[in-house]
Chains A and B, each alone.
Chain A
Amino acid sequence: MREVELYFGPQHLGMVGNFSITLNVEGDKILKATADPGFLHRGFEKLMEYRTWMQNFPIVCRINVVEPDHMEMVYAMAVEKLAGIEVPERAEWIRSIYLELARVGSHLFGLWAYSNMLGFDTVAQWAMYHRDLILDLFEELTGGRVYHIYIWPGGVRRDFPEGFTDKIVETLHSIGKCVPDYNDIFFNNPLFYERTHGIGKITREEAEKWGGVGQVLRATGKSFDIRKVQPYAAYDKVDFDIPTREEGDAYSRVMVIRDEMIESVHLIFKLIEGLPKGEVYNKVPNPFKWKIGEGESYVRVESSRGELGLYLVSDGGDKPYRAHFRTPSYSHGLTILEKVLEGSNISDVGNIMISMYVVAPEIDR
């Protein structure tokens, strides 16, 4: 049969996001896959070199549309480490609650993308609706639905409004009540199982070798989570589990996401219970007169797709000398995806890509 070059995206129904994969196929079989990013490149890392430490804070979140919160966190942590800024205890707990809410919201978004891709439109709509309930919480806390611009160096931007923790609990309970329905029509649905079982399979060794993090790595049986490995915010103050699976295929990756969502909700309840009183913000210097001493810092957090790192360098000026993000989608969407697609079927391209939760804007910074 003749070998054909096929463009999967950016204008392709099966593609989610501004991303493209060039496939060399023979019949249904993929011989070679080449990831082709760059459709969403906005030069964030360069832009950051031209903005002051404070002006960068509303920008970093825009790198990842789906889950801006971990971007804010990683930037705040890097600046705090460079400048030696202490964060109040309560702010650390609030940050954890906020980041876990973001994880739930982001996973629901991922669930929408995945179920939509597989044709489970009902679940997709439920997931989107439930994500909106989480966005309502964000709106009340921060004033923004998508870009929250909330975690800033020194703490958080405003304290919880009155009665906010009750609202979180109420919202999460209302979402939690639907978990059996989700299970019945999606996670435990034989159609879903057949469609994902054994697809895009990688071994633990491969995942480790190719830079897999997050669900990609945890679905191969390795319990690796930055929240445990190098705890930040208030994650060392509460107890929680890291869900893992052994098979390393698309099915186990999605099941890890499901278990993580449930674990995150339990974690939020524990954090709310232990939330201390006090200040939530230690004032940082005047933004027009804020220079950070020469130095560099690398910090990392566990975003909803895995390890997210920021390497930030200061040359002693009022702006970063260099900022570089290590995003999970970078290794998942470029290295691993190319390897896993090799030998698989055309109809599984979107399936595999979204099971690894590749978010294109994270690759193009």
Chain B
Amino acid sequence: MDKKTSILSPLKALKYLFKKPKTLRYPFELKEPAKRYRGLHLNDWDKCTGCGNCADICPNEAIVMKEIPEIEAKDGERNERPEIDYGRCCFCGLCVDICPTGSLRLSRDYFHIHFDPGTFKLLVKDEKTDKEHFLPGEEYSVFKASLAHRREKYEGFSPDLEYALFDPERVKMSEVPSEERKASFIEQVKGFSREEAGKEASRCLECKLCEEVCPAEMDIVDYIRNIWENNLEGAVRDIYKTNPLPSVCGRVCTHNCESACVLGHQGEAVSIRWLKRYVVDNLSLSEYQKVLETEKIKSVGKRVAVVGAGPGGLATAYYLRLMGYEVVIFEKLPKPGGMLRYGIPEYRLPYEALDKDIEYIKSVGVKIKCDTTVGEDISLAELRDNYDAVFVSTGFDKGRSTGVPGSENPHVFQAIELLRKVTMGEEIEVTDKIVVIGGGDVAMDISRTLGRLQMKKFGAVDITLSCLETRDIMPATPEEIEEALEEGVKLYPGWGPEKIIVEDGEIKSIVMKKCLRVFDEQGKFSPEFDTEEKIEFEGTMIVEAIGQAPDFSFLSEDIKEKLEYEGRRMKVNEYGQTSLSWLFIGGDILRGPDVINAIDTGHKAARGIDRFIAVEK
């Protein structure tokens, strides 16, 4: 024994009889839980996207995603919300740390007093959306405390980006700097290395919100997982299931998937587009047929004609060919690709990348006849007679004019025509001061292309770009606008053209009026102007990039008469089949205006044609 003490020394403890007791008289004396307390859940329904990552991480399977009919599902949001089974929940808070939107938190409530054990399940909400069950401090009573009787403003364990289980930042893509790139047409984006792609792919949480918005319904999660596992062959197989133009889409797709990505809510979306590009850039064309098992295709002895070798036509042709059809594409321009080749500038989509996709499509047996204009060299009726079905995707290849006074001047150009000339290698007489009208991607493309030509000719860029829309509602993708600005394009959003000042046949300037609104209350295009407020841009060349129109001149009168219309559009079924059963349409003339929609219409039409031929021929 360390110290000899008297047998009476324990009596010292009697002094505690006269001290205030330390025990709380619960529940009359309550103890305030700590600020980080991990109690019952709170979920902000407005922020929650129903991605289901909380349900996936839960080690006890306590969370189930429940469909909520009142919530309208939209792009990037499901009408599902988490329901928690408190008989299983262990209050670890992993669901909070994985929640990409930060909607899920834990409160400091921890009581549940109820006679019915069935009440252990709860579709969690917070005081914002569930005013009835969250009570202010003075109305709250601990004697009634339950999942349905809770205290408001009682937040506990909250999400913190620094400790989140996901990575909010994307892997930086290396790009050619603006000073260097504006002097040439070299590709701006350099692409991922193996390590970068693996790291970026590892960010994906696999909630599949992206797949729900992809017009082509691509198996995005699958191919990203394959990239992460360094299985490029598997990734290519996943991609080609629904998209025969991955090299193109990996560069210029409008990437609805990335807008839907849940990681974009608090951080940056997964670079899905660049990942797709990484896959096809790192697999040589010679391996495609082996990997995709398309070396031997059994012929079914039927023939299909495709009009237009754009993305829609190429996609239909590819999938029909896989089903064993003999497919011939008729293209009026010297090379296949349509708007991909003749509309998108080389620095965004190099010709080699496009050619790689087309070469593979050709290698499986699709025949492409270029320099053949349907309606001139061969009629649609002839195609109908010689083939079992015809698919038409001729696109929107005619530019629209503003029609303002002076726009008939020969120095006023259509963006789409200029872009085509650049691709064809024709000389364009660029001047040192150019004004571009339009706020979409085509306007950005032509501004940046003309900027490069100006750089070559004059050593300086002087492009003024003006459009009706204000910067926040400009239809061009934000990156494109940003890059155009970096390259020296001067941007004036919110102005509409009034007249072009021409002196002695030469353009001097363009007068613009202030645009007050672009769309009316119903969302229809109906611009209003303030004619008092004006601005004048000097320029010796004007380029209009305000949209494109289709050219249906190949349709003969008798076919036009037989076709049925819905408004100004041809009436079609889900496969793009018109009222003439042998005629299918796709691409921009059906739905658009981007590559991925064209591919989807093409893929659907291929299935429709297969069905049509099987049933009716």
Residue contacts A-B, CB under 8 angstroms, 20 given = A54-B94, A54-B165, A55-B59, A55-B94, A56-B59, A58-B94, A122-B13, A140-B34, A142-B38, A143-B93, A143-B157, A183-B5, A188-B3, A188-B5, A190-B1, A197-B1, A281-B162, A287-B57, A287-B98, A288-B204
B38/A51 in contact, CB under 8 A: no
Residue A139 interfacial (CB < 8 Å): yes
A141 to B163, CA, bound (A): 15
Q: How large is the interface on B (under 10, 10 to 19, 20 to 34, 35 or more residues)?
A: 35 or more
B36/A184 in contact, CB under 8 A: no
Residue A181 interfacial (CB < 8 Å): yes
A143/B225 in contact, CB under 8 A: no
Q: Which of B1-41 contact A (CB under 8 A)?
A: 1-5, 7, 9-10, 12-13, 22-23, 33-38
- Chain A residues lying within 8 Å of B13, measured Cβ to Cβ, are 122, 181, 184-185
**Across the A-B interface, the 7 shortest Cβ-Cβ residue pairs:** A58-B92, A143-B36, A143-B38, A55-B59, A185-B10, A140-B34, A139-B34
A188/B165 in contact, CB under 8 A: no
At the interface, is chain B mostly helix, strand, loop or mixed?
loop
B12/A184 in contact, CB under 8 A: yes
Known pairs A158-B163, A287-B98; A141 contacts B9 (CB<8 A): no
A141 to B59, CA, bound (A): 22
Q: Which of B1, B33, B58 contacts A188 (CB 8 A)?
A: B1
Q: Which of B58, B157, B204 contacts A286 (CB 8 A)?
A: B204
- Chain A residues lying within 8 Å of B12, measured Cβ to Cβ, are 181, 184-185
Q: Which of A232-278 contact B (CB under 8 A)?
A: 255
B98/A149 in contact, CB under 8 A: no
B167/A283 in contact, CB under 8 A: yes
Binary interface encoding of chain A residues 52-76 relative to chain B, with 1 for a CB under 8 A from any of its CBs, else 0 = 0011111100100000000000000
Residue B203 interfacial (CB < 8 Å): yes
Residue A326 interfacial (CB < 8 Å): no
A193/B1 in contact, CB under 8 A: yes
Binary interface encoding of chain A residues 147-168 relative to chain B, with 1 for a CB under 8 A from any of its CBs, else 0 = 1010000000110010000000
Binary interface encoding of chain A residues 26-68 relative to chain B, with 1 for a CB under 8 A from any of its CBs, else 0 = 0000000000000000000000000100111111001000000
Known pairs A161-B36, A183-B3; A289 contacts B93 (CB<8 A): no
B228/A189 in contact, CB under 8 A: no
- Name the residue of chain A whose CB is nearest to the CB of B207: A288
A191/B98 in contact, CB under 8 A: no
- Name the residue of chain B whose CB is nearest to the CB of A291: B229
- Chain A residues lying within 8 Å of B156, measured Cβ to Cβ, are 143
Q: Closest CB of chain A to B588's CB: distance in Å? A: 37
A158/B36 in contact, CB under 8 A: yes
Residue B317 interfacial (CB < 8 Å): no
A138 to B261, CA, bound (A): 36
Q: Closest CB of chain A to B275's CB: distance in Å? A: 13
- Name the residue of chain A whose CB is nearest to the CB of B56: A288
B35/A161 in contact, CB under 8 A: yes
A290 to B434, CA, bound (A): 53
A116 to B2, CA, bound (A): 22
B35/A140 in contact, CB under 8 A: yes
Q: Which of A136, A143, A147 contacts B106 (CB 8 A)?
A: A143
A139 to B31, CA, bound (A): 12
B203/A185 in contact, CB under 8 A: no
A186 to B5, CA, bound (A): 11
Residues in B lying within 8 Å of A, measured CB to CB? 1-5, 7, 9-10, 12-13, 22-23, 33-38, 53, 56-59, 90-94, 97-98, 106, 156-157, 160, 162-163, 165-167, 201-206, 225, 228
Q: Which of A176-210 contact B (CB under 8 A)?
A: 181, 183-191, 193, 197
Most buried by A among B5, B156, B201: B5
Residue A129 interfacial (CB < 8 Å): yes
A50 to B37, CA, bound (A): 28
Q: Which of A147, A189, A193, A286 contacts B167 (CB 8 A)?
A: A286
- Chain B residues lying within 8 Å of A193, measured Cβ to Cβ, are 1
- Name the residue of chain B whose CB is nearest to the CB of A194: B1
- Name the residue of chain B whose CB is nearest to the CB of A140: B34
- Chain A residues lying within 8 Å of B35, measured Cβ to Cβ, are 140, 161
A139 to B37, CA, bound (A): 7
A59/B59 in contact, CB under 8 A: yes
A58 to B22, CA, bound (A): 32
Q: Which of A55, A191, A286 contacts B202 (CB 8 A)?
A: A286
Known pairs A183-B3, A286-B204; A188 contacts B59 (CB<8 A): no
- Chain A residues lying within 8 Å of B59, measured Cβ to Cβ, are 51, 55-56, 58-59
- Chain B residues lying within 8 Å of A122, measured Cβ to Cβ, are 10, 13
Q: Closest CB of chain B to A79's CB: distance in Å? A: 14
- Chain A residues lying within 8 Å of B97, measured Cβ to Cβ, are 157
- Chain B residues lying within 8 Å of A51, measured Cβ to Cβ, are 59
- Chain A residues lying within 8 Å of B36, measured Cβ to Cβ, are 139-143, 158, 161
Q: Which of B37, B163, B206 contacts A143 (CB 8 A)?
A: B37
B3/A286 in contact, CB under 8 A: no
- Chain A residues lying within 8 Å of B7, measured Cβ to Cβ, are 189-191
A284 to B202, CA, bound (A): 11
A184/B204 in contact, CB under 8 A: no
A286/B166 in contact, CB under 8 A: yes
A344 to B4, CA, bound (A): 27
Residue A144 interfacial (CB < 8 Å): yes
A144/B91 in contact, CB under 8 A: yes
- Name the residue of chain B whose CB is nearest to the CB of A51: B59
- Chain B residues lying within 8 Å of A181, measured Cβ to Cβ, are 12-13
A299 to B46, CA, bound (A): 45
Q: Closest CB of chain A to B96's CB: distance in Å? A: 10
- Chain B residues lying within 8 Å of A183, measured Cβ to Cβ, are 3, 5
A188/B93 in contact, CB under 8 A: no
- Chain A residues lying within 8 Å of B94, measured Cβ to Cβ, are 54-55, 57-58, 287
A289/B38 in contact, CB under 8 A: no
Q: A157-B97, A190-B1, A288-B53 are in contact. List 17 more A-B contacts (CB 8 A).
A: A57-B92, A58-B94, A140-B36, A143-B36, A143-B157, A147-B91, A147-B92, A149-B93, A158-B36, A184-B12, A185-B12, A286-B166, A286-B202, A287-B98, A288-B56, A288-B204, A289-B206
B204/A289 in contact, CB under 8 A: yes
A184 to B10, CA, bound (A): 6
Q: Closest CB of chain A to B51's CB: distance in Å? A: 12
